[in-house]
C-alpha cells in the first residue's frame, strides 16, 4: 500500500512542475507584452508635438475693463458732470491714446453746475479719448437741449476741454418754429448757442439781436 501511494505522488509531481512552469511562462509573457505596450505609448507620447498657445501680440488692442448693462455717474474734480447708460463699455487703458468705447451705443445726460440735466445725447456708437477729453458719437446721433430743440446727425464731436460740440455732416434741427437742415454746425456744451452753415428752413432772429 505504501509503495503504491509513493509511486502516485512521484508520478504527479512532474505534472505539477510542468503546470507551474506554464503558469510562470504565461505571467512572464504578459509582463513582456505590457512592457512593450508601455514603451510604445511612451515613444508615441514623446513624439507628439507640444500644444502651442499663441501669445498676445498687442495687448493694447484688448480692453482692460469690460462691463455690460452699465448706468453710472461720471465726476470730474469732484463735480458730477454727466450720467452714462450703455449696454457695453470697454476701457482701453494700455492704448497709445487711452480711450473708452461704447460699441453698442450710449445715452448720456449732461449736468450743469446746479446739477440739472441741460442736455441729452444718444447714439449707436461712442468713443471717448481720455487724454484729449474728446467724445466721438456716430450713428443716429440725437441731442435735446433745455428748450426741447432736437439735433439729429450721423457724426458728432464733443470737445470737453474747449466746451464745444460740432459736426461736419448733415444736421437736422427741429424747433418750435420749424425744421432747419444744415451741412454743419457748432454749439456750446448745453446747445443753447449754436451756428450752422448752408442752412435751409425758418431761421428766427432773437429780438435782442435785431
Which among 103, 101, 193, 178 has a CA at the least distance from the CA of 139? Answer: 103
- Residue 54, classed as helix, strand or coil, is coil
CB 201 within 8 A of CB 183: no
pTM over 0.85: no
Residue with cell string 439729429: 152
List, in order, residues 6 or more apart from 126 with CB less than 8 Å away: 86, 101, 102, 105, 106, 108, 135, 136, 137, 138
Per-residue pLDDT tens digits for 21-66: 544 545 555 655 556 555 555 555 555 455 555 555 566 678 888 8
Phi, psi of 20 (to 5 degrees): -60, -40
Phi, psi of 192 (to 5 degrees): -100, -20
Query: pLDDT value at position 201?
Result: 61
Per-residue pLDDT tens digits for 63-119: 888 899 999 988 877 788 889 999 999 999 988 899 999 999 999 998 887 788 888
User: Average pLDDT for residues 121-129, to the nearest whole number?
Assistant: 96
Rounded Cα distance between 46 and 68, Å, is 45
C-alpha cell at 131: 487724454
Amino acid at each position: 500500500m505504501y509503495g503504491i501511494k509513493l509511486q502516485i505522488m512521484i508520478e504527479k509531481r512532474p505534472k505539477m512542475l510542468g503546470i507551474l512552469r506554464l503558469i510562470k511562462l504565461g505571467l512572464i509573457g504578459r509582463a513582456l507584452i505590457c512592457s512593450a505596450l508601455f514603451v510604445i505609448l511612451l515613444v508615441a507620447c514623446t513624439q507628439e508635438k507640444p500644444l502651442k498657445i499663441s501669445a498676445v501680440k498687442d495687448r493694447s488692442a484688448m480692453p482692460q475693463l469690460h462691463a455690460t448693462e452699465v448706468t453710472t455717474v461720471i465726476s470730474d474734480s469732484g463735480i458730477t458732470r454727466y450720467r452714462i447708460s450703455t449696454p457695453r463699455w470697454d476701457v482701453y487703458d494700455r492704448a497709445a491714446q487711452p480711450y473708452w468705447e461704447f460699441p453698442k451705443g450710449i445715452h448720456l445726460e449732461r449736468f450743469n453746475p446746479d446739477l440739472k440735466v441741460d442736455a441729452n445725447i444718444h447714439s449707436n456708437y461712442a468713443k471717448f479719448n481720455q487724454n484729449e477729453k474728446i467724445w466721438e458719437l456716430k450713428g443716429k446721433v440725437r441731442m435735446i437741449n433745455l428748450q426741447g430743440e432736437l439735433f439729429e446727425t450721423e457724426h458728432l464731436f464733443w470737445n470737453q476741454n474747449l466746451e464745444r460740440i460740432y459736426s461736419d455732416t448733415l444736421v437736422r434741427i427741429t424747433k418750435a418754429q420749424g425744421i432747419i437742415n444744415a451741412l454743419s454746425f457748432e454749439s456750446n456744451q448745453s446747445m443753447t448757442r449754436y451756428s450752422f452753415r448752408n442752412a435751409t428752413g425758418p431761421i428766427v432772429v432773437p429780438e435782442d439781436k435785431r
